[in-house]
Chains A and B, each alone.
Chain A
């Protein structure tokens, strides 16, 4: 799990001031020194910082005689190195350490103060050793040396072109004088070679092992006990000796069976793997079979993504990283890739984005020759094939798991670089209170709303968040300067503490305080080396280490709370170096180099004191070749069979990963103290890393063992749950049935962390960003970055379980994960995978899985959505197969309707449209449209109308012909889409490509017309609908004049007509139920032209018969207080209205702008920040909770009210005018006014009148009255007159009505109307209106007052005469009910509200009345 970072650095390893082509780079065994050769120079460098120590340049004669340098081989003690020349000679160099004198290249500051170094990091603490390099001997054998490899501190192996292996000692090379006598000469032609299939029987010597073949590439590994070799005839072999001494008699070889075109080889010591690079650009990896010591095919690395086959060329170079976790591979035609131990691809430069002008197939900019891992694998030296200054150094970070496998228990991604740590904390899910379903009251309503009490406590929810930033921790300078690089890193379970160990000592960091803690005493830091592992346990750092002072191996614990000092630390001596350790609860398991696994119990006595006792020791030498081959181990309470959860404090099982093979060592029975290695069972092979899930909160996948095996994917060893009925029996009937099952599934990313509770794996992927296209600059290469990725694995596990008929387990697991936000998505993926596989299968499927998967999904309420969303992401060609199993789409559609999942139903329409004749889909769409309208789902209705209009009318009768056509139109969408958005956008997305081919121009005009030419479009639509109806009538009469070519258009018009009918029907219903708001929304969202429709309806549905009842209904719909409340509730109404004072401003001012229409009003609209649908609800909330919302409105108004009530002060007139509009909050008022405008435009006087009354807009009433009078229609006049009368009647009947004052101002209009009717010479008394007889008396009295008044149209005098006539009587009636202030209000009201037609007298009056409250305050 190595990930490259940034651009590669370009370094120059030539002599200072020169440039040269470097041929080979090699680090010594401890990776402190780097040697590099070009044709004649050998350079020795310090690895970090990369500084030159010494060079040796060969003379021209030497070059002539022995050839130029080619390959470097270090002696393991770093004292000597051998250089192989291309002429097959060996040159031995001696490296002497010059002890006297300090280091080299010490930087000396100049005397000038300003030129001195300032920062601490610029003073390099590293002491570069002074070394001298000398040539010891040039060796030329009789035969040409083809390759060299070092097998031990004392010996090395030379391969010659005569097909011999010479084993000789390093010391033999030194002695110049002596004749070289190899320890052994192994004639490869004389040793037996086996082929894997026929073991123990010598195969025939292969004929090609003839004269020309020799070993071209050789690598030795002590753990394998042999060498990997590649012959010059491209044959791959494995050479092994029976004894560890290589002699002809004891050696044999194994041909690698399937590799006939090998180019290079490399050996992984830890996992005992041999990798052979091939000419075919693949890499074949073989493991050692323990039983036969032969080769066993493991896996094959083939790059397929982004690469045309055959373009890579032969494998150029292979290098395992020092820890054996990754394999770097480069190819002859360029490119570098990185693979994990068991073959999962971590990085490939061929998938990098090199920009447009780079064609990777023709010329890869990254042409590499040699690779060499530097210290701890943090850097990779790469030499380019051509040119000078050809050395690149790529930086890597690696997962902490690679060095410290005990870190697998944590949920944080921890990556370590050479001097920094990358941490990605937190889950994939952001924790919040409340989740998507539970929304809090919106906060956008402004500053006025107060805190709300919540009825129930919202539960902890979670939302998916995009990947968070990496937290980068830089190692503190004073630790890093002497202890570079980081070797071990550990994070605690909470992710709050991090510990790192470098070359010596350790340091730790607290995420909360953001501070590092280092050893106070630097010598203590220098005195020990952490080895084998580092972990956190309950605030203690536990590590295996080697004390340089005592020369002993120890376990140490340091508490995080105190200073880092040995006096607080706890030490426990162990016998041999610690190789690996791990912890489970309070048990610490330690593997030491002598092959003993020890189990310790840890007790925490206090925050600073810890006790460690050894429980038992176990010899594991029998299960591994060498303890170093044990990759990781842990102790756990996992057992083969799932026992009922008893309080087992003690873990009983040891799980060990030996060279990729996971072994479980179980205790035989509870009585037995120590587990027996003889009872070890092998669970899996090729395992890189394992995780254990113990106690989970949510997920049912408890007590599982998770394994990652590279190319073989992820595996989980899952206990099989038994159904309860089966469990309850005295004993299981079938005891032979297995209790656990191993499921495997592929993963797209390399898992670093498994979040068991969230059924998700987290990993890191290598991405690249191109910074510039400038070809010459070195940043023309992409910049490598790391991105955290996650993958849900739930569906993969479910599928495997269902496949194996373990539906109950699957159901249990799925049930436990239902609360996860991506659960529906997981089900969808499950269905999609199976569908794709089975529907596109060429072969007949013997046992189709789809039905059982569908049955499974049916268990969950999201079934309907899952089906449709899956369908919409698959090709249409697969739909028939899906719906043959899942049920007919029509039926599913009806199920959706039953379940009131309208959005889902809408999605099914698209499927129905594709699978059924258009008429069916049309019919269903109409059905859904109806329901959507009824449920006020305007957005949905809008989309449905668009859908209906887009159906090609010609296709209505024609059946769906072929699916092939549709496949082309709707290409399969990528399955990787993370989440489906269920809203209209997705609908459009899918609908789009299908709809556009059918949509004709005329329909698009109507649907997409901008609203500012509403008038024209409206007119157009009226014409059209008329034309359509005319056409319909024409066909009724049987006229055969319908021209063929016009039929499409006509049909289309009929379609639109049909939709219009539905809309009109619905609008009529709304109007009849006085649901004006809904009507408004409908008009707005559906492009339904209200004015034209209302014009039609002005004599129909838009007539009002009972004004009072209509007003009442409207009030209840707007959730306003009843217009005619019962008596005695006046105080309450008063309270409300006064509290509304602040909000009334807008309403008050708006009443003056009635003439200019709605545009100016809209300008005052406050900007809400929410989507319309939410807005609507919220508004209702507003009006339903008026008291609560307005409490903090202002202290002033509250007081005002109280005083007024107590002292019965006369209320001001202004107050009153505010009351008018403040019943409606301002947004509602604007909507009402807009509707009023529409009704006036459409000539619907009844509704216009009612809305004017609701808005208490006297001006608009007078306008209506004038219009009616001008229309010279007696009937209309009479209706209006009667309506006004009825209202005033109702108002007076209910004294507390809020309209009382206003209605009184309307009396002049009534009078005017009566007068007009009279002037037409008709008797107004006998009217056809229902309650005419009641009003009759009033009208006659109105006549009376008219006589008093004089016959001009001026209202003003009339107001002053108000106390006369019926007005007076009503006043008297009123006083019976009303309190003092309401009376005073009714006095003031008329003057104020009629102020739009103000006369000077009124102004005066108003001014006077305004002064009223001030006086009142004065009195107080």
Chain B
């Protein structure tokens, strides 16, 4: 059986991991390579790096740490964060990353998904969806393909720029749409749940996962092992950040819980 995946997510800026990651026996807790190795040793199935570097030499900084990571870490890893052109994807993949994650650029220009998956293969194109429940009247109007626009029945909307801007796109329809364009995987973050530690958006995740034939990674809201088990009952992988970084849970503990609940994990 294919195992469900536990994926730590690390935020990187200027080639350093930000947000407190506290492993006791690390000489340098800010080095992406050392942290990646640590999570690899602990049983992470994959890694996601979100690069939030704003400076103009982002490209070179990115290349450097991705290359160093690829030389030391032999599990798959994804790099995302502000990727908007094919050249950057090529750079990142050539440096040794396995996948890239695109988000805002996919909304601005859906053809970017089809172009990049045609060039590099859909297995390395992850499309990130930041979704939020619709609670008030619609403010954004989507002027792209009308088939994904919000309707009266829509319940979740796609946001961009780290959850700041509404797009007028129905999140469930968007998931099916990007699959057709060639996305190889969906990284689904619920902005309603992110940071709450009250559990993943299980309903939304299930609807989207049932609706597409590509793997879905749930993100946002994990507070304990039960939450992770709930998410993995409806999708293929769970993304984790602070719970792991601050040492509240270890990958080992999570996998033990999964195993006890009858969820197949790599152990």
Answer yes or no: are A and B bound together in one complex.
no
